[in-house]
Structure 1
Amino acid sequence: MPVLLSEMLIGRHGGSSAVESAKKVARDSNASTLWSLLASFGVLGAFLILSFYCVVAGWVLYYVGVFASDFVTALSGNFAGGALAGMDQAAIEGLFPGLLGNPGMLIGLHALFMAITLFFVARGVSGGIEIVAVWLMPAFFILFLGITVYSLFSGALGETMSFLFAFNPDRLFHGDVMLAGLGQAFFSLSLGSALMITYGAYAGRETNLANSTAIIAVADTGVAIMAGLCIFPIVFAAGLDAGSGPGLMFVSLPVAFQAMPFGSLIGLLFFVMVGFAALTSSVALLEAPASWLMHRFNIARAPAAIIIAALAFAVGTLAALGYNLLSDVHPLGFWPAFAGLDILDSLDAISGKILLPLSGLLTAIFTGWIADRRLVDAENGIDGGIHVLWRFLIAWLCPLALAAILIVGLWPTA
């Protein structure tokens, strides 16, 4: 929350792109404008994430199509039956590897999702981005709530509650679990990627940034808990592995939907919901570098968005080919911790383990030690005793925590 508030206040004070906003805060604090690197790293991170994020979102579109076709088939047969009728578990589990092995389909789905993202960003804040926020987010939550209620009543609720909420201090303090939790909270709030600095520039002077930060953090945590209550009852009811990583969504859940009543409909609604959520994120990821390009080179919004989207599509195409034609390419092979990563995972490592934590670390140091205190206090909306806590967190605890995340990410055995 302190880093989130820092990014938002930098954006509102600057009122421009993330990089230009950081420069303005630095100038108004009589500090070097090199501190704008905190935003530059974030913009680059957002660009790299956008490039492979739209590839992954293309996988979601694929499953929307699979379940849409299955739902149409179910309407003419046993509507209340499970999904993917006539397919056994091995066939369903084979859908995802089959997709990854098809470069044409991967690139086509990647292009489609990138084009949808570009459409909303090119239309501007009020004509595009606000439409995503005003219409797609409520639609997402309605679907989310509906599927969660269905999952709770039809899935393994008891096992889910124990899995999510049983307190086990041995597990909590085992290995790097605490740092993994810190990292998850950091990335879940889109910190370090210049997104919140960019969106902070759109906040009016009447907006209390401290209150907004609290609302965002509470809502983000609430959605995370709901996601667990939505997914794991289905997983446990089907006897699937809860720790199967990305395969949980694209391999395990389709298998689970097959065995559920109304599985075709639930599967379709689930992947539509995930698609809505992915689009809200991709729009933000494109907006940050597009905003930088607009202000840096005085380019209109639409051309700037097209340029960034085209470049991200090109990089993302390489990531998609990394699952098939370029599967032997390992860009970070020189780094022992990342030696076996394919192209997409390498992009993820560069952005998630280096650029984002580094940007967050610089932001905390800049706000806690470098930026003018009167400027920061005038923007953050904090007063009273909480202000002392805020200063301690942003100046001491946050830099230490982010430095630990950065070090462990780069050297896992450190």
Structure 2
Amino acid sequence: EDSKLTDNALIVAFSNSGFEVFNAIGIFSILGFMTLTSGIPFNELVTEGTGLAFVVFPKVFNIMGPWSSVIGPLFFLCILFAGLTSLMALLEVASFAISEKFGFSRRKSATVVCIVGFCISSLFTTAAGSYLLGIFDAFLNNFALLFGVFLECIIFGWIYNFDELVEVLNSHSSIQLDPFWKVIIKYILPVCIFVLWAQGVYSTILTGTYTSHMVMLALAIVLVIVPIIFTLLPAKNEDYYKPIEDDSI
């Protein structure tokens, strides 16, 4: 209750962006060096999907000499921890939503989510795993994520009481949101996100195959239908529909 909402959000956003910029400087420096020494064009050096982490970087480690035995394991250990932390973040959201609405215990809801996730991720261990991973990656980056952000802007900017939301955020934060944030959320950000989303969808349609288009269509249908089904299902938790009392509102 005493968390500084806006402050924490800005810290996470700038920390993540700063780390990615710092990481990109190192990665592109390495790729530029490999392009210069090998004579291979940059666009041919990096492959799609897992090519950067599991093809290009091992080649880099091989030319590092004795340091490769230290940096290589550390690099893949970082990838492991990145995957585990992302997994826990996704697992927490889904399991909490299920336990809150249907009255399941945290253990039961987490078990259900893990089983479903295991069944889906098992597809990537098959012979077509790399191909499916590329389709999933393109779908998430070019369609799902940007479209989700666009919907969030529409929902919080136009459907919910935005002024009341800003009032709550300001009451729980030391960094105050001025009226310009309302302009960003309601007008500027949706337009920018929609343009990027349209470009990604257009590029995916042009470069994709019939099979990839069908898989992406199936993913889109699942992502739309499953949340609707869970939303319409009656809640077994009696406290689920009770309004949350907040003195700051």
Q: Distance in 2 between matches of 1:342 and 1:263?
A: 30
The residue number in structure 2 matching 1:207 is 3
Kindly provide the CA deviation profile for residues 101-145 of structure 1, in whole angstroms up to 9, marking residues without a partner as x. Answer: xxxxxxxxxxxxxxxxxxxxxxxxxxxxxxxxxxxxxxxxxxxxx
Please tell me whether the aligned partners of residues 232 and 242 of structure 1 are also in contact (alpha carbons under 8 angstroms): no
1:231 aligns with 2:27: yes
Q: Distance in 1 between matches of 2:189 and 2:112?
A: 35
Q: Distance in 1 between matches of 2:114 and 2:175?
A: 45
Structure with higher RCO (Cα < 8 A, 6+ apart): 1
1:260 aligns with 2:25: no
Please tell me whether the aligned partners of residues 258 and 264 of structure 1 are also in contact (alpha carbons under 8 angstroms): no
Kindly provide the CA deviation profile for residues 30-80 of structure 1, in whole angstroms up to 9, marking residues without a partner as x. Answer: xxxxxxxxxxxxxxxxxxxxxxxxxxxxxxxxxxxxxxxxxxxxxxxxxxx
**1:350-361 correspondence to structure 2 within 5 Å:** 350-361=139-150
The residue number in structure 1 matching 2:168 is 379
Please tell me whether the aligned partners of residues 364 and 394 of structure 1 are also in contact (alpha carbons under 8 angstroms): yes
| Structure 2 spans left out of the alignment, 5+ residues | 207-249
Please tell me whether the aligned partners of residues 242 and 248 of structure 1 are also in contact (alpha carbons under 8 angstroms): no
**1:315-354 correspondence to structure 2 within 5 Å:** 315-321=120-126, 324=127, 326=128, 342-354=131-143
Please tell me whether the aligned partners of residues 4 and 174 of structure 2 are also in contact (alpha carbons under 8 angstroms): no
Q: Distance in 2 between matches of 1:229 and 1:411?
A: 29
The residue number in structure 2 matching 1:398 is 189
Q: Distance in 1 between matches of 2:16 and 2:54?
A: 23
Kindly provide the CA deviation profile for residues 322-374 of structure 1, in whole angstroms up to 9, marking residues without a partner as x. Answer: xx1x47xxxxxxxxxxxxx9322333344333332222112101211221134
Q: Distance in 1 between matches of 2:115 and 2:54?
A: 27
The residue number in structure 1 matching 2:235 is none
Q: Distance in 1 between matches of 2:19 and 2:175?
A: 30
1:408 aligns with 2:204: no
TM-score, normalised with respect to structure 2: 0.68
Q: 1:265 to 1:212 in 2, by over 3 A?
A: same
1:221 aligns with 2:17: yes
The CA RMSD measured in Å over matched residues stands at 2.7
Kindly provide the CA deviation profile for residues 249-291 of structure 1, in whole angstroms up to 9, marking residues without a partner as x. Answer: 2111111111113211111111112221222112112222222
The residue number in structure 1 matching 2:215 is none
Structure 1 window deviating more from structure 2 (308-317 vs 353-362): it is 353-362
Q: 1:347 to 1:394 in 2, by over 3 A?
A: same
Q: Secondary structure at the match of 1:206?
A: coil
Q: Percent identity?
A: 24
Kindly provide the CA deviation profile for residues 296-317 of structure 1, in whole angstroms up to 9, marking residues without a partner as x. Answer: 2111111111111111111111
